[in-house]
Amino acid sequence: MPHRNPADPARLGLPARLQALLDLPFPRFSGPEMHRRRAALADAMAERGVDQVVVCGEQKAGTGISWLTGWVTTAEQLVVFSPAERPRMFVEWVNHTPLAREIAFECEVEWSEHRSVEKVVAELQRRGARKVGVMGQLNFGKYRRLAAAFPDVVDMNPDYVKLRRVKSAEELDWLRIGAAFSDASIALLLEELRPGLNERELGDIAERAYTPFGGTTLLHYFGVTSMAAPDCYIPRQHPKNRVVAAGDCVFTEITGQFWDYGGQVLRTFAVGAEPDALYRDLHAAAEAAYDAVTGVIRPGCTMQEIVDASGVIEAAGFTICDDLVHGYGGGYFPPILGTRSRPAGPLPDLVMQEGMTVVVQPNVIDAARHAGVQVGDLVRVTADGCESLHRAPRGFLRVG
């Protein structure tokens, strides 16, 4: 069948209101949404007796920066926040400053002159800070300089996790776009994955599916192995320079992002051959586990219910390697769950809430750890269950 143009927006299948976000010069959350976030952080500060918070981001890590200001972290940004004043952001690289000023919502932005912590301390002192919280990653040397000026520093990261667990309606819209980007990768792999490509070229296919629309890559992991003689049971975080051949299994985990809101879709492909008995059984157990887990997720669902539902994996004689479930959307958040045969530590003391988003991703493997498959989607907890944010086809996908 003829291949469609990867840059055709129709491939994304987005409704008009979400396509309109893509068509903006820079997408933005509404003023009420940004004020809601800042009010929620102010409430958390009041509970902890904190009057100023330093929000940290460095080397593209630190989602608190964008959640609070709309500016996605580049090299280094430190934001001083309190309910009483506009946030002040210190930007490490001078050439990043003009765009940060354009994008950051109701925020004073200035170049740090490579003296970010000194400037933060001076700003905190100007504001009369008494008890300072830190949200995000701050390296040890910078922490020591901050703590020398304000010894009673409070770790606000647990509070941030709580603030991010339940997504607003606007955040869900952005996650749906990220999910559409990720689904586009699966669609293009269905068209282009074939014998003769190497794993590096699979990453190229994944990225070409969403970069024409402004999407960026958080990850695309691929596992490629012969089904007759498997030697890979979990997708690799770095591509191996191995050529895909007929009779291979290719399984993948992909997150294309709309700014820093990404989907997460996991699928398994059989290349140029039908799956053999082992791979059929592995995939059937993975699909059964996905259905069982998503079948129990609802508001009030306990972590034990989810682990119990995953028992179909052990009943089939298999186990897992990757986490079974993890919170997602702004970070890799609790709940992080395994199964009875591969637990992920003590079960978190929480229940599912409407508006939470989690990835359900059973990576079912054989006991010998030779073969594995992966299926899964980012799902939203609804009023009476859950819904997938993805539209990529399920099943053992055939290509080549």
Domain locations along the chain: 51-155, 169-399
The whole-chain average pLDDT of the chain stands at 96
262 forms bridges with which residues in the sheet?
Answer: 257
At position 101, the amino acid (one-letter code) is R
> What homologous superfamily does CATH list for 51-155?
Creatinase/prolidase N-terminal domain (3.40.350.10)
Query: Over pLDDT 90: what percentage of the chain?
Result: 96
Quick: pLDDT tens for 99-152: 999 999 999 999 999 999 999 999 999 999 999 999 999 999 999 999 999 999
Rounded CA-CA distance 331/309 in Å is: 25
The residue assigned the tokens 């003689």 is 229
Indicate if the pLDDT at residue 2 is higher than 50. Answer: no
Helix or strand holding residue 224 (H, E): strand 216-226
DSSP string, 31-51: HHHHHHHHHHHHHHHHHHT-S
What's the predicted TM-score (pTM) here?
Answer: 0.96
Structure tokens at 353: 């809430």
The residue assigned the tokens 């995000």 is 136
Planar angle of CA 53, 55, 58, nearest 5 degrees = 155
List Cβ neighbours of 254 (8 Å cut-off, separation of 6 or more). Answer: 182, 185, 186, 206, 219, 220, 221, 264, 265, 266
Quick: pLDDT tens for 194-234: 999 999 999 999 999 999 999 999 999 999 999 999 999 99
Quick: pLDDT tens for 61-83: 899 999 999 999 999 999 999 99
> What homologous superfamily does CATH list for 169-399?
Creatinase/methionine aminopeptidase superfamily (3.90.230.10)
Q: Is 352 helix (H, G, I), strand (E, B) or coil?
A: coil
